[in-house]
Amino acid sequence: MQRYVYKRLISPTMDRLDSETWHERARRALHRAEASGSALAVVERCAGFGGKVRDDRLTVTLSGIELENPVMVGAGWDKAGTAVRGLYSLGFSGVEVGSVLEHPQPGNPRPRQFMLAPGVALNRLGFNSPGVAQVAHNLEAYAGSGIPIGISLGKNRDVGPRDAPDAHAAVARLLYHHAAYFAVNVSSPNTPGLRQLQDRGPLTDIVQEVSATVREMGGRTPIFVKIAPDLSLGAVDDVLQVALDNGVAGIVATNTTDNPELKGRYGEYWRTQAGGLSGDDAEYRRMSTAMVAHIRREAGDHLEIIGVGGVKDARTALEKLLAGAKAVQVVTAIRGEGPGVAVHINRGILRWMEKEGVGTLREVVGAAV
Ligand SMILES: Cc1cc2nc3c(=O)[nH]c(=O)nc-3n(C[C@H](O)[C@H](O)[C@H](O)COP(=O)(O)O)c2cc1C
């Protein structure tokens, strides 16, 4: 019912707004709700009409991080870390904040975020970030909350490959006390040259520098590497080798795709437009899930996997979990499916587990590989 109201009434009205404007208003509304306990209680009660799903069968441990369910918010939805508690109240178990850059950066000129079809997005934001100092200030609001916050590490556009390790490490240092994990994001298609940092040499340097920073701070915060769905399997294997050789905890698979064929299906115009496609596109989702399955096959239990790309309901979440993901992330479907998306996914997973006679999520992870 709530989903029907959202999709039939609210979403079409929102479609008249520029996609980024919708996103900003939604984020600001959650941020404002955080200021008042009663507003937040309303948010929680409204999430999927019935509130957050709390059930021990959904809990997962991701690299030592206790998640109350496997559905997190992916990087890009809350780049500045101003709506973490609001998103948690909507039923997500945690939020990957960022990508965060060392210095403030406005990103590309607008418009730069588009809906190509219902549930399918293209963005070329180009790493807009208020900079790490502001994000550190924002995240103070959640200190001691216990909400798992991942920090997506990015670099400013004018930072060359040689300085990239220091740039990532600088963000990790300042946000160390807020981070349940770090994700090295070298897979956004919107910063020239960034994806080349997925190559063996540059990636090793970045991962080693971030690891050294974590050690310097006296901790053991797990580090993930986020990859593009457009990598060849050979290139993925290089990333896996770097990860295994350098104590990386896991892989976030995947970022958006810049495949022109996929973009071109939404009209010739989009084929050559800069930006990455995400959300409810069956082929994109298949590419992204295939990456999860490949990583699981190659690395087994040695690397944890966070599956992201086209997750919008229990079925698409379960595809990723069965392929080997311990947790999934959602970004575009928060817009496409509405604010109850995490609750619907969790309820659907529980229904499926009951039908299949599965007792815990541990039995589900990787069962199809
Ligand atoms: C508007 C937007 C901004 C994004 N910004 C980031 C980012 O800053 N860092 C990052 O690692 N991924 C970013 N992403 C990629 C998402 O985290 C995710 O990998 C991708 O969108 C696939 O998930 P989805 O199909 O659920 O959207 C962004 C995606 C969107 C749609």
145 catalytically annotated: no
Residue 78 to residue 34: CA distance in whole angstroms: 14
Cα(75) to ligand 1 centroid in Å equals 5
Cα(255) to ligand 1 centroid in Å equals 6
Q: Please, what are the domains in the chain?
A: 2-363 (3.20.20.70)
pLDDT tens, N- to C-terminus, the chain (369 residues): 566 666 666 666 566 567 888 888 899 989 988 988 788 888 777 776 677 888 999 999 999 999 999 999 999 999 999 999 999 999 999 999 999 999 999 999 999 999 999 999 999 999 999 999 999 999 999 999 999 999 999 999 999 999 999 999 999 999 999 999 999 999 888 888 888 887 888 999 999 999 999 999 988 899 999 999 999 999 999 999 999 999 999 999 999 999 999 999 999 999 999 999 999 999 999 999 999 999 999 999 999 999 999 999 999 999 999 999 999 999 999 987 888 999 999 999 999 999 999 999 999 999 999
The pTM for the full model equals 0.96
Q: Which candidate in 89, 188, 211, 288 is catalytic?
A: 188
Residue 196 to residue 202: CA distance in whole angstroms: 8
Which ligand 1 atom is nearest residue 312's CA? Answer: 26
The token duo for 311 is: 């997750």
Cβ neighbours of 356 (radius 10 Å): 12
Residue 50 to residue 160: CA distance in whole angstroms: 49
User: Which residue bears the tokens 């900003």?
Assistant: 24
**Pocket residue to mutate for ligand 1, from 331, 332, 334, most atoms within 8 A of Cβ:** 331
Nearest to 98 by CA among 161, 172, 41: 172
What is the DSSP secondary structure assignment for residue 34, as one 8-state letter? H
